[in-house]
Chains A and B, each alone.
Chain A
């Protein structure tokens, strides 16, 4: 296998006695879109800021492109684009001025890629940043991270504040980056988003990496709450015996259950009766954790896998 783009080796960061991340082992391969999934405060941003050398690990180390994240930070930063979480921009600049400033700092050729991205994301570069909404600021953050066509894009909560249409355009852009063979590292606390754009997902919780899964694997193990409303009452045992069905409740024409893995067999069975409505709840993060660590209560996450 080729040299990983990102490799974390027992990466550990404490702030004083407060936990950041603990013995994180991670490999991100060239050309993949890797999702870093976990609730707020799990240690995603800490990991990312260590990769960029803003903070230094307490123990362990990280390499990017095979280069040391601290010692070779300058060489690394020439080749990556970065969107910070909780983005703050220079209020008094216009979008165009901000992009021009960073393009100069990068020694970049002005190839108009920034403008193209701005057009696609529907971002007005002429306005002063202080007048922009949160969503428009986030777009600028994305544009400056991606305008240099970096070998690796590190995006901390990229879709925060983006409206759904812009999100879709962003997903397309990520698909194109992947198709071009570039690597993307995305942090998120939003499972559907990660499922939509990522190839593999690392699940982090309370500073520890619980598992790394392919998105397909994640879906297989994910829990999904399903509500079906039928035209008329259905037998109580309608879904009994269908694989993956749990917590089945049938109340006249209403049925609710939890499905582990694919919903296809469930729906096929249910379709023997006329269905009026289907409500599928996207599994939340907690449900994913439950799927991985069935009976364990919150706060009792096992040691890093």
Chain B
């Protein structure tokens, strides 16, 4: 099992990862299973319609519409629960990639072995990629099981694409956290900064659609690329997905360059 930095991460994480994937699956399973029993759909819809537009924009990609399962899922799941479930993993894992070992003091020991610094980042990133995929799979399985069990008709292919969009969003912020960790050697600073940035990005995207001067800035927010296209209805947009992938790779590159050049703390 402990044959490489990659397998060491799997060895360390698999239990918590499985638990998190199960949790990430139970959440949408419960919500979708409850959908048919929300009797007063119309009353709830009128309540939603009466909400101020700012609130409505924050919590939904498209119109607030719980008369369809997709609209309901967008509100309950994809507006921020799904990103949060993914980012809780990617940001903490990414922030701790090298900074965790640096904080704890094991990095000297690891790097005394004949392994290049960039390779430590690359192998850990691949392991985190796998971990992120496992969480996505858990979500999809949970949602599919809930929908089938409760007889709710949703397009599971589109659900999968919306989940992939959430995973890409999570990877972008995880990669950002990894870069901050590689720059500073401080894991909680890295994770904290990434989470704070994600909150700011969430509001930038949500409020940007309401405030004229802010609207032009929405594409800066990864959340815009995550959901502006409404992947649950229209599928994954290659351009928006590509932006998230490019951002992930760019921050990875920053992490590599920073980590290769820096004096390591002990």
Query: Taking beta carbons and an 8 Å cutoff, which residues of A are in contact with B?
Result: 15, 45, 49, 52, 54-56, 74-75, 77-78, 80-82, 84, 86-90, 92-93, 97, 100-102, 104-107, 141, 144-145
Chain A positions within 8 Å of B116 at CB level: 74
Main secondary structure of the interface of A (DSSP, over half): mixed
Residues of chain A lying within 8 A (CB to CB) of residue B105:
84, 86-88
Residue in contact with B108 in the complex, picked from A75, A84, A104, A107, CB distance below 8 Å: A84
B114 touches A86 (CB 8 A): no
| Bound form: Cα–Cα A200–B18 in Å | 55
A contact residues around B8 at 8 Å (CB): 101
Contacts of B70-116 to chain A: CB distance below 8 A: 104-106, 108-116
B264 close to A (CB within 8 Å): yes
Tell me what chain B mostly uses at the interface: helix, strand, loop, or mixed.
Answer: loop
Is B12 interfacial (CB-CB < 8 Å)?
yes
- List chain B positions with a Cβ less than 8 A from chain A: 2-5, 8, 12, 104-106, 108-116, 263-264, 266
Instruction: Evaluate contact between B263 and A56: CB separation under 8 angstroms.
Output: yes
Q: Which residues of B contact A82 (CB under 8 A)?
A: 108-109, 112
State the Cβ distance, A84 to closest chain B Cβ, in Å.
4
Instruction: Among B12, B104, B108, B113, point to the contact of A54 (Cβ < 8 A).
Output: B108
User: What are 12 of the A-B contact pairs (CB < 8 Å)?
Assistant: A45-B266, A54-B263, A54-B264, A54-B266, A74-B114, A74-B116, A77-B111, A84-B108, A86-B105, A87-B109, A89-B106, A144-B109
Flag if A102 contacts B113 (CB, 8 Å): yes
Judge whether A104 and B104 touch: CB under 8 Å. no
- A145 (CB) vs chain B CBs: closest residue: B112
A-side contacts of B263, CB under 8 Å = 15, 54-56
Cα(A77)–Cα(B113), bound, Å: 6
A88 contacts B2, C-beta separation under 8 Å: no
Closest to A154 in B: B112
Point out the residues of chain A lying under 8 angstroms from B12, CB to CB.
Answer: 92
Q: Which residues of A contact B264 (CB under 8 A)?
A: 49, 54-55
A192–B109 Cα gap in the complex (Å)? Answer: 27
Partner of A88, one of B104, B112, B114, B115: B104
Give complex CA distance A88, B264 in Å: 15
Q: Known contacts A54-B263, A55-B264, A86-B266: does B104 contact A105 (CB below 8 Å)?
A: no
Q: Are B266 and A84 in contact (CB under 8 A)?
A: yes
* Whole-angstrom distance between the Cβ of B51 and the nearest chain A Cβ: 48
Residues of A within 8 A of B110 (CB): 105
Of all chain B residues, the one with the shortest Cβ separation from A156 is: B108
Set of chain B residues within 8 Å of A54, measured between Cβ atoms: 108, 111, 263-264, 266
A88 touches B3 (CB 8 A): no
Q: Which residues of B contact A89 (CB under 8 A)?
A: 106, 109
Contact A100 B114 (CB under 8 A): no
A107 to B264: give the CA distance in the assembly, Å. Answer: 24
Bound complex: CA of A88 vs CA of B105, how far in Å? 5
Shortest CB-to-CB span from A9 to chain B, Å, is 20
Decide yes or no: A97 and B112 within 8 Å by CB, A55-B263, A86-B266 being known contacts.
Answer: no
Residues of A within 8 A of B104 (CB): 88
Q: With CB as the reference atom, state the residue of chain A lying closest to B104.
A: A88
Chain B residue at smallest Cβ distance from A101: B2
Contacts of B2 in A (CB 8 A): 93, 97, 100-101, 104
Q: Report the bound CA distance from A230 to B240 in whole Å.
A: 92
Q: Name A106's contact: one of B5, B106, B114, B266 (CB within 8 Å).
A: B114
Q: Which residues of chain A are within 8 angstroms of B114 by Cβ–Cβ distance?
A: 74-75, 77-78, 105-107
- Measured between beta carbons, the chain B residues less than 8 angstroms from A56 are 263
Residue of B nearest to A81 (CB): B112
Given A56-B263, A92-B12; A84-B4 close (CB under 8 Å): no
Q: How far is the CB of B238 from chain A (nearest CB, A)?
A: 39
CB-CB < 8 A to A74: which residues of B? 114-116
Report the Cα distance A77→B115, complex, angstroms: 8
The minimal Cβ–Cβ distance linking B140 to chain A, given in whole angstroms, is 30
- Since A15-B263, A77-B112, A93-B2 are in contact, a sample of 6 more A-B pairs with Cβ atoms closer than 8 Å, ordered by chain A residue number, is A52-B108, A54-B111, A54-B266, A80-B112, A88-B109, A101-B3
